[in-house]
């Protein structure tokens, strides 16, 4: 890729040459663009040497519209570090130097920023509002890390390490993948089925697998409709969050309504949510009291089957992927579900595998295809498993 690395006047600018070096090593062509203040922290000579290209710093030096020719040349503009100042300038549409002018000329979807600043600056409502604005335009963010800051304090605000930014760029380079023109539905998390105003029937699903799938699709450039049950997870820290549209639901019926609404507009769907099969027949709108008897009967009625419904709605060109969590006769049961519900793939989780299934950060799966294909993963992080699933079902 052709990458412009933009450097602004934060202390972390001293790490920018290392990022440039890593990108050049990874085979990218790199040009640097710096603000005047950035050159208080790093030097023209260093940036020109590591990038093997002249530095773009003065808007008028060349007598040409270099901000436009650089914009045409670049596949990606990475601003690392991004000061509170540059973030505010872009959010406010200000172009008063070489880098800010280039930033306004670039399509936001081709910009990645790695903010770095003192924790109080980072927490300031103006900065947070500006970050949200930039995200909403499609600018990807590598959120700052917690750690020691140059001003002697600790807290959030420290620029992510060059290796982490380079890894993020490596996954962004897949924006040219076929998925960049596609929309996918992902369901995640548990559902809660209300008994009364304070109690529900739920399950142990954390949503981690579904969120990892949504991120893996978004990092391949897809637009993702993430329909999630109650979970403490958030996609906001993801650099790809602008491509993930979250709908939060509580019950199986709400998830059914949200999923069936968006599915017709999607190229495919991966349903990883742990949806309750049954719900209480009646829900009290107040807290049920002990009635003095030893037992209590709860009548349950069946929830709509989201997977089977989408299987019935599915058009020829759509791909539908289900999950199965089996405790016995795993392969036969998963294969049966695949056929009965008209799926293209089913991902089998086994609760027997240590480190796989609910709540944990790792998983081990078998992906069965309608065409008889079968792929098994070793025990991997849910992120890696998600990437493997996406590769298998989008080929
Ligand atoms: C020693 C020093 C360190 C600084 N570090 C940061 C920083 O990490 N992040 C930030 O947003 N501003 C930092 N600033 C403030 C910026 O340099 C200042 O806002 C400047 O106007 C940014 O200009 P630029 O965005 O055009 O490079 C620092 C200033 C000084 C003097």
Q: Which domains does the chain have, with CATH numbers?
A: 2-175 (3.40.50.1950), 177-277+298-394 (3.40.50.10300)
The full 3-state SS of 238-306, as one line of letters, equals CCCHHHEEEEECCCHHHHHHHHHHHHHHCCEEEECCECCCEEECCCCCCCCCCCCCCCCCCCEEECCCH
> Does residue 263 or residue 145 have the better pLDDT?
263
Q: pTM for this structure?
A: 0.63
Given this model, what pLDDT does residue 149 score?
Answer: 66
Give the DSSP letter string of 321-340: EEEEEESSSHHHHHHHHHHH
Compute the average pLDDT of residues 276-291. Answer: 93
Ligand 1 centre distance from Cα of residue 330 (Å):
58
Give the single-character DSSP code of 392. H
- Peptide bond preceding 373 in cis form (omega within 30 of 0): no
For the chain, what is the total number of helices (H) and then of strands (E)? 13, 21
Helix, strand, coil abundance in the chain, percent, nearest 5: 40, 25, 40
Please tell me if the CB atom of residue 343 comes closer than 6 angstroms to any atom of ligand 1: no
59 CA → ligand 1 middle, Å: 20
Which residue, judged by its Cα, is nearest atom 17 of ligand 1? 9
> CA–CA separation, 100 vs 89, rounded Å?
7
Give me the chain's average pLDDT, please: 91
Atom 16 (ligand 1) nearest CA: 9
Q: What is the per-residue pLDDT for 176?
A: 59
pLDDT value of residue 329: 86
Q: Is 16 in the pocket of ligand 1 (CB under 6 A)?
A: no
202: nearest Cα among 103, 258, 278: 278
Between helix 84-91 and helix 98-105 the angle, nearest 10°, is 40
Q: Note the pLDDT of residue 175.
A: 55
Q: Token digits for 105?
A: 């000329």
pLDDT value of residue 3: 94
pLDDT in tens, 245-276: 999 999 999 999 999 999 999 999 999 999 99
> Is the CB of 90 inside a 6 Å radius of any atom of ligand 1?
no
CA of 11 to the centre of ligand 1 (A): 7
pLDDT in tens, 206-233: 999 999 999 999 888 899 999 999 999 9
In ligand 1, which atom is closest to the CA atom of 86? 25
**What value does the mean pLDDT take over residues 65-86?**
93
Determine the distance separating the centroid of ligand 1 and the alpha carbon of 16, expressed in angstroms: 14
Mean pLDDT of 117-135: 94
- Its sign, for the CA torsion 87, 90, 95, 100, is positive
């Amino acid at each position: 890729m052709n990458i412009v690395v933009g450097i602004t006047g934060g202390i972390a600018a001293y790490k920018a040459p290392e990022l440039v070096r890593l990108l050049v090593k990874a085979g990218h062509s790199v040009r640097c663009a710096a603000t005047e203040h950035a050159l208080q922290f790093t030097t023209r000579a260093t940036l020109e040497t590591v990038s093997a290209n002249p530095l773009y710093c003065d808007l008028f030096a060349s007598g040409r519209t270099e901000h436009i020719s650089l914009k045409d040349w670049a596949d990606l503009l990475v601003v690392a570090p991004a000061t509170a100042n540059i973030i505010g300038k872009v959010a406010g549409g200000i172009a008063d130097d070489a880098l800010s002018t280039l930033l306004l000329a670039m399509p936001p979807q081709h910009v990645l920023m790695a903010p770095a600043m003192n924790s109080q600056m980072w927490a300031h409502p103006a900065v947070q509002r500006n970050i949200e604005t930039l995200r909403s335009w499609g600018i990807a963010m590598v959120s700052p890390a917690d750690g020691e800051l140059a001003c002697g304090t600790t807290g959030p605000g420290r620029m992510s390490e060059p290796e982490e930014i380079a890894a993020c760029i490596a996954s962004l380079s897949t924006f040219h993948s076929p998925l960049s023109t596609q929309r996918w539905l992902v369901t995640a998390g548990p559902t809660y089925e209300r008994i009364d105003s304070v109690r529900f029937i739920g399950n142990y699903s954390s949503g981690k697998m579904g969120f990892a799938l949504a991120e893996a699709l978004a990092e391949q450039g897809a637009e993702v409709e993430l329909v999630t049950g109650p979970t403490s997870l958030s996609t906001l820290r993801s650099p790809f969050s602008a491509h993930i549209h979250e709908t939060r639901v509580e019950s199986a019926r709400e998830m059914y309504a949200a999923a069936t609404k968006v599915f017709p507009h999607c190229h495919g769907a991966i349903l990883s949510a742990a949806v309750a099969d049954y719900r209480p027949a009646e829900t009290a709108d107040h807290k049920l009291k002990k009635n003095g008897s030893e037992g209590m009967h709860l009548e349950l009625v069946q929830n709509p089957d989201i997977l089977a419904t989408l299987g019935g709605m599915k058009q020829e060109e759509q791909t539908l992927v289900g999950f199965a969590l089996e405790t016995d006769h795993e392969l036969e049961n998963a294969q049966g579900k695949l056929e009965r519900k008209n799926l293209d793939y089913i991902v089998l989780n086994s609760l027997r595998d240590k480190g796989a299934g609910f709540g944990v950060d790792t998983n081990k799966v078998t992906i069965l295809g309608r065409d008889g294909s079968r792929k098994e993963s070793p025990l991997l992080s849910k992120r890696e498993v998600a990437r493997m699933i996406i590769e298998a079902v989008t080929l």
